Amino acid sequence: MSDFRKFTLSLMATFGVPWLLLIIIPVMKYQRIQPIPYNKEVDGVEGYYPPTGIHRQGQLVYAREGCVQCHSQMIRPAQLALDGWRKGWGQDQEARAAAPVRSNTMRDYLQEPYAFLGAQRIGPDLANAGWRFTDRLDVHTQLYAPRSKDEWSVMPSFKHLYIVRKQQGPVASNALKLTGKYAPKKGYEVIPTPEAEALADYVLSLKKDYPVPGVTAALAAAGEAAKK
C-alpha cells in the first residue's frame, strides 16, 4: 500500500507543479488585471487602455459558426514574423504599409471572456479586421457571398444568417447590394438577421492596434530619431 501511495504522490507532484504554476496562479492573477489610463502628455490620447469592449453577441455568433477554424486574431511581432507587414492586417490598407502593425498584448483581449487567437490561417488574420471593411454592407457582402468579392475565395457563405424576402416598397437601407449571380431574384432583397448584424458589429469592432501606454509613443519617437 505504501508503494501505491508513493506512486500516486509522485504522479500528483509531477503534474501538480505545472498545473499550479502554469494554470492556477496565472489564472488567479489574471482576474486582477485592470485597464490602465493613458497619459495625455506621453501617449497623446485620453481614456483607458484597452479603450472599448468587443461586441459580445457577435462574438458568440463568431464562436458557434467556427470562424476560428480559419481565422486567427493575433499579430506576431515584426522581428518574429511578417504578420505586421501584410496588406490590410492593420489600419493602413496600402499594399506596402509605411510601418508594421504592432503585435498584440494580453491587455488587448481584456474585455473578451475568451480570445479566439486562432487555430489555422486558412483565411487572413482578423485582429484588426475592423479597418479592412469600407462599411457595414461590405462586411455583409463578405459574409453572404464571399465569392462575389474574390472568386477564388474558399470562405463559406453564411446565407443562413440572412433573409431573402420580397421587396416591400422602396429598397430597404440595410439590403445587401449584390450583383451578377449572387443577386436575388428581381423584386426580392437580402436582409441581414439580428445575428448577422451582431456578427458584423463584432467584426467592425476588431481594432486591436490602439496605442499601448508608454510604449507606442516611445517607439514612434525612436523611429523619428532614427530617420534623422
Partner 1 sequence: MDTSTANAELENQADATRRAAIDRSVKGPVLFLFLNGAFWLMASTILGVLAGIKAFAPEFLDVSFLTFGRLQPAHLTALVYGWGMQAGLGIMLWLMARRSGQELIGGKSLMIVAGVFWNIAVSLAIVGILAGKGTGFEWLEMPSYLWPVLLVCFLVYAWPMTRMFARAFRPEGFMVSTWYVLGACFWFPWIYITTNVCLHCLPGLGALGAGVNAWYVHGLILLFFTPVAVGAAYYFIPKITGQPIASQQLAQIGFWLLAILGGWTGMQRFMGGPLPAWMVAIGALTGVLLLIPVGVVGLNHHLTTLGKHHLVATSPTLRFVFFGAIFYPVSGAILALLSNFWSGLNLQFSHAWYGYQVTAVYGFFSMTAFGAIYYIVPRLAGCEWLSVRLIRNHFWFSVYGIGTIVVTSLLAGMQQNADINVPERWDQSWMSVVMNARPYLVARVIAWALITWSNVWFLIHLGLMVAGLGRRSAAPTLLPSHHDETDSALPHGANA
Nearer to partner 1, 181 or 228 (CB): 181
Nearer to partner 1, 86 or 136 (CB): 86
In whole angstroms, the minimum distance from the beta carbon of 225 to partner 1 comes to 25
Helix (H) or strand (E) holding 224, with range, is: helix 216-227
In whole angstroms, the minimum distance from the beta carbon of 217 to partner 1 comes to 20
CA distance 29 to 60: 26
Q: How far is CA 1 from CA 7, 11, 13, 96, in A?
A: 10, 15, 18, 69
In whole angstroms, the minimum distance from the beta carbon of 93 to partner 1 comes to 12
Nearer to partner 1, 127 or 204 (CB): 127
Nearer to partner 1, 123 or 214 (CB): 123
In whole angstroms, the minimum distance from the beta carbon of 198 to partner 1 comes to 13
In order, the DSSP letters of 13-69 are: HHHHHHIIIIIIHHHHHHTT---EE--HHHHS--SEES-----HHHHHHHHHTTGGG
